[in-house]
Amino acid sequence: MPASPKERRERLRAVLGANPFLSDGRLARHFGVSVQTIRLDRMALGIPDQRTRVKEMAERAYGRLKSMGQAEVVGELIDLELGKSAISALEITPEMAFQRTGIARGHYIFAQADSLAIAVIDAENVVTGIANLKFKRRVRVGEKLIAKATVIREKGNKSVVLVETRSGGEEVFRGKFLVFALE
Protein backbone atom coordinates (compact mmCIF):
# COMPACT_ATOMS: atom_id res chain seq x y z
CA MET A 1 0.00 0.00 0.00
CA PRO A 2 1.44 3.42 -0.95
CA ALA A 3 2.29 5.89 1.78
CA SER A 4 -0.24 8.56 2.65
CA PRO A 5 0.54 12.11 1.48
CA LYS A 6 1.35 13.07 5.07
CA GLU A 7 3.82 10.17 5.49
CA ARG A 8 5.37 10.85 2.07
CA ARG A 9 5.85 14.52 2.93
CA GLU A 10 7.54 13.65 6.22
CA ARG A 11 9.89 11.30 4.37
CA LEU A 12 10.44 13.95 1.66
CA ARG A 13 11.50 16.49 4.29
CA ALA A 14 13.95 13.96 5.78
CA VAL A 15 15.40 12.96 2.39
CA LEU A 16 15.94 16.59 1.35
CA GLY A 17 17.42 17.37 4.77
CA ALA A 18 20.03 14.67 4.15
CA ASN A 19 20.62 15.58 0.48
CA PRO A 20 19.33 18.99 -0.65
CA PHE A 21 20.86 18.49 -4.13
CA LEU A 22 18.19 16.00 -5.27
CA SER A 23 16.09 17.08 -8.23
CA ASP A 24 12.31 16.69 -8.39
CA GLY A 25 12.80 13.97 -11.02
CA ARG A 26 15.04 11.89 -8.78
CA LEU A 27 12.70 12.41 -5.85
CA ALA A 28 9.73 11.31 -7.97
CA ARG A 29 11.55 8.08 -8.91
CA HIS A 30 12.58 7.51 -5.29
CA PHE A 31 9.02 7.86 -4.00
CA GLY A 32 7.34 6.25 -7.02
CA VAL A 33 5.16 9.28 -7.77
CA SER A 34 4.98 11.93 -10.48
CA VAL A 35 7.20 15.02 -10.60
CA GLN A 36 4.07 17.13 -10.18
CA THR A 37 3.25 15.30 -6.93
CA ILE A 38 6.74 16.07 -5.61
CA ARG A 39 6.33 19.74 -6.57
CA LEU A 40 2.99 19.91 -4.77
CA ASP A 41 4.48 18.20 -1.71
CA ARG A 42 7.41 20.65 -1.66
CA MET A 43 5.03 23.59 -1.96
CA ALA A 44 2.90 22.25 0.90
CA LEU A 45 6.03 21.92 3.05
CA GLY A 46 7.42 25.32 2.01
CA ILE A 47 10.55 23.72 0.51
CA PRO A 48 11.99 25.62 -2.48
CA ASP A 49 13.06 23.99 -5.75
CA GLN A 50 16.52 22.47 -6.18
CA ARG A 51 18.07 25.54 -7.79
CA THR A 52 16.85 27.83 -5.00
CA ARG A 53 17.96 25.39 -2.26
CA VAL A 54 21.47 25.17 -3.73
CA LYS A 55 21.69 28.95 -4.24
CA GLU A 56 20.66 29.64 -0.63
CA MET A 57 23.24 27.17 0.66
CA ALA A 58 25.94 28.75 -1.50
CA GLU A 59 25.16 32.27 -0.25
CA ARG A 60 25.48 31.12 3.38
CA ALA A 61 28.72 29.24 2.65
CA TYR A 62 30.45 32.14 0.86
CA GLY A 63 29.68 34.39 3.83
CA ARG A 64 31.86 32.15 6.06
CA LEU A 65 34.82 31.81 3.68
CA LYS A 66 38.09 33.13 5.18
CA SER A 67 41.11 31.61 3.42
CA MET A 68 40.39 32.79 -0.14
CA GLY A 69 38.18 35.04 -2.18
CA GLN A 70 34.85 33.84 -3.49
CA ALA A 71 36.10 33.89 -7.10
CA GLU A 72 39.09 31.70 -6.17
CA VAL A 73 36.99 28.67 -5.25
CA VAL A 74 36.92 26.25 -8.18
CA GLY A 75 33.31 25.21 -8.56
CA GLU A 76 30.38 26.53 -6.57
CA LEU A 77 30.77 26.45 -2.79
CA ILE A 78 27.58 24.88 -1.44
CA ASP A 79 28.30 24.37 2.25
CA LEU A 80 31.08 25.41 4.60
CA GLU A 81 31.63 24.64 8.25
CA LEU A 82 35.06 26.09 8.99
CA GLY A 83 37.45 23.61 10.54
CA LYS A 84 35.13 20.68 9.80
CA SER A 85 33.69 20.19 6.32
CA ALA A 86 32.81 21.83 3.02
CA ILE A 87 30.96 20.90 -0.18
CA SER A 88 31.29 22.28 -3.70
CA ALA A 89 29.77 21.50 -7.09
CA LEU A 90 31.43 21.73 -10.49
CA GLU A 91 29.88 20.97 -13.86
CA ILE A 92 32.38 19.83 -16.46
CA THR A 93 32.14 22.02 -19.57
CA PRO A 94 33.68 21.38 -23.01
CA GLU A 95 36.45 23.90 -22.20
CA MET A 96 37.54 21.67 -19.28
CA ALA A 97 37.92 18.55 -21.41
CA PHE A 98 40.08 17.18 -24.19
CA GLN A 99 38.37 18.08 -27.48
CA ARG A 100 38.84 14.70 -29.11
CA THR A 101 37.51 12.53 -26.25
CA GLY A 102 35.34 14.78 -24.09
CA ILE A 103 37.19 13.50 -21.02
CA ALA A 104 37.79 16.09 -18.29
CA ARG A 105 41.36 17.25 -17.77
CA GLY A 106 42.55 16.10 -14.35
CA HIS A 107 43.76 19.48 -13.23
CA TYR A 108 40.17 20.80 -13.07
CA ILE A 109 39.12 17.94 -10.77
CA PHE A 110 42.25 18.50 -8.67
CA ALA A 111 41.67 22.27 -8.55
CA GLN A 112 38.14 21.80 -7.23
CA ALA A 113 39.42 19.48 -4.48
CA ASP A 114 42.46 21.64 -3.61
CA SER A 115 40.46 24.86 -3.36
CA LEU A 116 37.91 23.08 -1.15
CA ALA A 117 40.68 21.71 1.11
CA ILE A 118 41.96 25.26 1.56
CA ALA A 119 38.50 26.81 1.98
CA VAL A 120 37.56 24.54 4.88
CA ILE A 121 40.46 25.78 7.05
CA ASP A 122 39.61 28.47 9.60
CA ALA A 123 42.52 30.80 8.81
CA GLU A 124 43.29 33.80 6.61
CA ASN A 125 46.29 32.35 4.72
CA VAL A 126 46.37 28.66 3.80
CA VAL A 127 48.61 26.74 1.38
CA THR A 128 48.78 23.12 0.28
CA GLY A 129 51.97 21.29 1.28
CA ILE A 130 51.33 17.71 0.15
CA ALA A 131 48.56 16.08 -1.87
CA ASN A 132 48.01 12.34 -2.29
CA LEU A 133 45.55 11.85 -5.18
CA LYS A 134 43.62 9.01 -6.73
CA PHE A 135 41.55 9.45 -9.89
CA LYS A 136 39.01 6.59 -9.76
CA ARG A 137 37.42 6.88 -13.21
CA ARG A 138 37.16 9.15 -16.25
CA VAL A 139 34.86 12.15 -16.02
CA ARG A 140 33.13 13.44 -19.14
CA VAL A 141 31.64 16.73 -20.31
CA GLY A 142 28.25 17.38 -18.72
CA GLU A 143 28.92 15.51 -15.49
CA LYS A 144 28.32 17.40 -12.25
CA LEU A 145 30.97 16.80 -9.63
CA ILE A 146 30.11 17.09 -5.95
CA ALA A 147 33.22 17.34 -3.78
CA LYS A 148 33.13 16.98 -0.01
CA ALA A 149 36.08 18.01 2.15
CA THR A 150 36.45 16.76 5.72
CA VAL A 151 39.15 17.87 8.16
CA ILE A 152 40.34 14.56 9.59
CA ARG A 153 43.28 15.74 11.69
CA GLU A 154 44.71 19.01 13.03
CA LYS A 155 47.97 19.70 14.83
CA GLY A 156 49.17 23.25 15.28
CA ASN A 157 49.05 25.00 11.93
CA LYS A 158 48.83 21.72 9.97
CA SER A 159 45.60 20.04 8.91
CA VAL A 160 44.89 16.87 6.95
CA VAL A 161 41.84 17.24 4.74
CA LEU A 162 40.18 14.35 2.92
CA VAL A 163 38.32 15.32 -0.26
CA GLU A 164 36.01 12.85 -1.97
CA THR A 165 34.47 13.80 -5.31
CA ARG A 166 31.42 12.03 -6.68
CA SER A 167 29.39 12.13 -9.88
CA GLY A 168 25.93 10.60 -9.80
CA GLY A 169 26.74 9.01 -6.45
CA GLU A 170 29.89 7.27 -7.77
CA GLU A 171 33.30 8.24 -6.42
CA VAL A 172 35.49 9.63 -9.23
CA PHE A 173 38.32 11.21 -7.23
CA ARG A 174 39.82 11.02 -3.76
CA GLY A 175 42.56 13.20 -2.33
CA LYS A 176 44.25 13.66 1.02
CA PHE A 177 45.73 17.14 1.44
CA LEU A 178 48.20 18.37 4.06
CA VAL A 179 47.53 22.08 4.32
CA PHE A 180 49.26 24.75 6.37
CA ALA A 181 47.76 27.86 7.96
CA LEU A 182 50.27 30.70 7.66
CA GLU A 183 49.58 33.14 10.46
Could you report the per-residue pLDDT of 110-154, keeping only the tens digit for each?
Answer: 999 999 999 999 888 999 999 999 999 999 999 999 999 999 999
Asked if residue 52 belongs to a domain, the reply is no
Burial class (CB in 10 A: 0-12, 13-18, 19+), 177: buried
pLDDT at residue 67 is higher than 70 = no
Same-domain status, 62 and 28? no
CATH of the domain at 97: 3.10.129.10
Contact, 125 vs 182, CB < 8 A? Answer: yes
pLDDT at residue 45 is higher than 80 = yes
pLDDT at residue 13 is higher than 70 = yes
Same-domain status, 148 and 76? yes
Asked if residue 30 belongs to a domain, the reply is yes
Q: Which residues contact 68 (CB under 8 A, 6 or more apart)?
A: 115, 118, 119, 126
Going by C-alpha positions, the residue among 154, 175, 7 that lies closest to residue 84 is 154
Of the listed ranges 64-68, 155-159, 162-166, the one predicted with least confidence: 64-68
Its domain, for residue 32, covers 5-47
Asked if residue 53 belongs to a domain, the reply is no
CATH of the domain at 15: 1.10.10.10
- Domain count within the chain: 2
Asked if residue 141 belongs to a domain, the reply is yes
**Distance of CA 74 to CAs 87, 135, 166, Å?**
11, 18, 15
Position 172 scores a pLDDT of 98
- C-alpha 92/C-alpha 85 separation (Å) is 23
Answer left, alpha or beta for residue 17, where phi above 0 means left and psi between -120 and 50 means alpha: alpha
Residue type, 93: T
Asked if residue 111 belongs to a domain, the reply is yes
Mean of the per-residue pLDDT values of the chain: 89
Position 36 scores a pLDDT of 92
pLDDT at residue 59 is higher than 70 = no
Q: Does the global pTM surpass 0.75?
A: no
Same-domain status, 93 and 113? yes
Asked if residue 176 belongs to a domain, the reply is yes
Position 72 scores a pLDDT of 83
Tell me how far apart the 2 most distant CA atoms of the chain are, in Å. 61
Q: Are strands 144-155 and 126-135 parallel, antiparallel or unpaired?
A: unpaired
- C-alpha 17/C-alpha 74 separation (Å) is 25
Of the listed ranges 18-27, 74-83, 103-112, the one predicted with least confidence: 18-27
Same-domain status, 86 and 168? yes
Position 54 scores a pLDDT of 72
